[in-house]
């Protein structure tokens, strides 16, 4: 397959629109939200009005009729300025709304997607558990079907769940063990749990190293009852469904990581031109020039990787390996670029008023969330037949 790296006029227009929004609206405000550890409802509402939460969904469900490339472009441009806003969009679309779109019934789609596409409501993805982490197959949350009431009864705990406790969170899709197969292995299913359901408790926000203007919480379920019709997809197929969702989500995270890496370049170029030492701008020093050139090389290569994976997805081709490659590479170079940008800024890079300090704090989670770097290497090796 050949990859045309040129964007269509529609995609380029979207990219420029989000770029302007990020610089004109997000950049001047997000630092204060970040330092207060406060969710930026005003910015999220504006993103909803722009249609960003509906980018890859059909118009019949309130979406924009776009595709995953469009979502990636928006995420990259937002993350060039701030990752908290970008991850709110990524999780709201890839993890909140996409499972309903991919696996929901027509009734479920029409009930939930329009509000999520408009940004009026956020959805969350309840997969990770305190004692499972990367071993999602070791899920301990359970759901039994009470045939007398035709309801699922859910018990368990989920952790590190993004967008799960905001004032506009409407649902969490939860993975739970709903039985055992003939070999005794757990059958994992996906179930929609609306916010406010009795027994569904949302903990206080975590105190995090980064992503401080995004919402991340622990969830607990104590005899939570939801209608049997809230089953998402087939019973026992939840694990396979979420593996597909994670494959797609890795493309989105890669785009976000690429944006952070490019934002480090942007800030470093600007600082190197303005900052003087020993009578001249530090950008005149070859040591600084080479650092920034290497940073640009990494960001450029990461962009090619995530767009390649997105192109394969859009053309209906296998993309699991390419998504893992893109996620692994882009997340690791985001950490490298953030470290180098901080070094270029010197003492100012250690001050939270400078965006690179925020980028440094935000970068590390990219090597962990939606599949650690170690998991990506396992997936790549497996796809190579090892």
Structural domains of the chain, with CATH: 9-122 (1.10.540.10), 124-235 (2.40.110.10), 240-383 (1.20.140.10)
**Residue appearing with tokens 């749990």:** 193
Among 61, 81, 77, residue whose Cα is nearest residue 69: 77
Count of alpha carbons within 13 angstroms of residue 382, beta-carbon side: 9
Main-chain phi, psi angles of 225, to 5 degrees:
-110, 125
* Kind plus residue range of the DSSP H or E element containing 228: none
pTM: 0.95
Structure tokens at 295: 């940073």
**Active site residue: 106, 353, 370, 383, which one?**
370
Q: What is the DSSP string of 140-195?
A: --EEEEETTTTEEEEEEEEEEEETSSSTTEEEEEEEEEEEE-TTS-EEEEEEEEET
Output the tens digit of pLDDT for each of the chain's 386 residues: 445 678 999 999 999 999 999 999 999 999 999 999 999 999 999 999 999 999 999 999 999 999 999 999 999 999 999 999 999 999 999 999 999 999 999 999 999 999 999 999 999 999 999 987 667 678 899 999 999 999 999 999 999 999 999 999 999 999 999 999 888 899 999 999 999 999 999 999 999 999 999 999 999 999 999 999 999 999 999 988 988 999 999 999 999 999 999 999 999 999 999 999 999 999 999 999 999 999 999 999 999 999 999 999 999 999 999 999 999 999 999 999 999 999 999 999 999 989 999 999 999 999 999 899 999 999 999 999 99
Q: Cα 43 to chain center, whole Å?
A: 17
pLDDT at 6: 82
Task: Assess contact for 118 and 261: CB atoms under 8 A.
Answer: no
Helix then strand then coil, % of the chain, to nearest 5: 55, 15, 25
CB within 8 A of 88, min separation 6: which ones?
Answer: 39, 40, 44, 122, 162, 163, 214, 215
Q: How far is CA 295 from CA 20, 192, 193, 382, in A?
A: 23, 42, 43, 30
Report d(CA 320, CA 248) in Å as an integer: 8
Active site residue 59: no
Report d(CA 67, CA 315) in Å as an integer: 11
pLDDT at 338: 98
Task: Assess contact for 220 and 157: CB atoms under 8 A.
Answer: yes
Q: Which residues does residue 122 pair with via DSSP β-bridges, in sequence order?
A: 169
pLDDT at 2: 46
pLDDT at 182: 85
pLDDT at 134: 62
Structure tokens at 122: 């956020």
Structure tokens at 272: 């190197």
pLDDT at 138: 81
Task: Assess contact for 45 and 67: CB atoms under 8 A.
Answer: no
């Amino acid at each position: 397959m050949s990859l045309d790296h040129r964007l269509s006029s529609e995609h380029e227009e979207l990219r420029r629109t989000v770029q302007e929004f990020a610089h004109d609206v997000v950049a001047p405000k997000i630092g204060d939200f970040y330092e207060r550890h406060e969710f930026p409802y005003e910015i999220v509402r504006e993103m909803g009005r722009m249609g960003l939460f509906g980018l890859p969904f059909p118009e019949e469900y309130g979406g924009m009729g776009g595709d995953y490339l469009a979502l990636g472009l928006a995420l990259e441009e937002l993350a060039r300025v701030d990752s908290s806003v970008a991850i709110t969009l990524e999780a709201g679309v890839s993890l909140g709304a996409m499972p309903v779109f991919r696996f929901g019934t027509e009734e479920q789609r029409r009930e939930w997607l329009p509000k999520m596409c408009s940004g009026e409501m956020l959805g969350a993805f309840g997969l990770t558990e305190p004692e499972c982490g990367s071993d999602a197959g070791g899920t301990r949350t359970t759901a039994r079907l009470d045939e007398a009431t035709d309801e699922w009864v859910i018990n368990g705990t989920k952790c590190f769940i993004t967008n799960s406790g905001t004032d506009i969170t409407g649902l969490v899709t939860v993975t739970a063990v709903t039985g055992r197969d003939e070999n005794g292995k757990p059958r994992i299913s996906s179930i929609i749990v609306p916010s406010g359901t009795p027994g569904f408790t949302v903990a206080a926000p975590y105190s995090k190293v980064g992503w401080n203007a995004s919402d991340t919480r622990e969830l607990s379920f104590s005899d939570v009852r939801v209608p049997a019709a809230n089953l998402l997809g087939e019973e026992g197929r939840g694990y396979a469904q979420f593996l597909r969702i994670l494959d797609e989500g890795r493309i989105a995270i890669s785009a976000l990581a690429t944006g952070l890496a490019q934002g480090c370049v942007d800030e470093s170029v600007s600082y190197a031109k303005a900052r003087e030492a020993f009578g001249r701008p530090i950008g005149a020093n070859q040591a600084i020039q080479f650092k920034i050139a290497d940073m640009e090389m990494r960001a450029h290569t990461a962009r090619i990787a995530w767009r390649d994976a997105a192109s394969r997805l859009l053309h209906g081709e296998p993309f699991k390996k390419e998504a893992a490659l893109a996620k692994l590479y882009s997340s690791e170079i985001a950490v490298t670029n953030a470290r180098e940008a901080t070094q270029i800024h010197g003492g100012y890079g250690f001050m939270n008023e400078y965006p690179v300090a925020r980028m440094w704090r935000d970068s590390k989670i990219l090597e962990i969330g939606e599949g650690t770097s170690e998991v990506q290497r396992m997936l790549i090796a497996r796809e190579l037949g090892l």
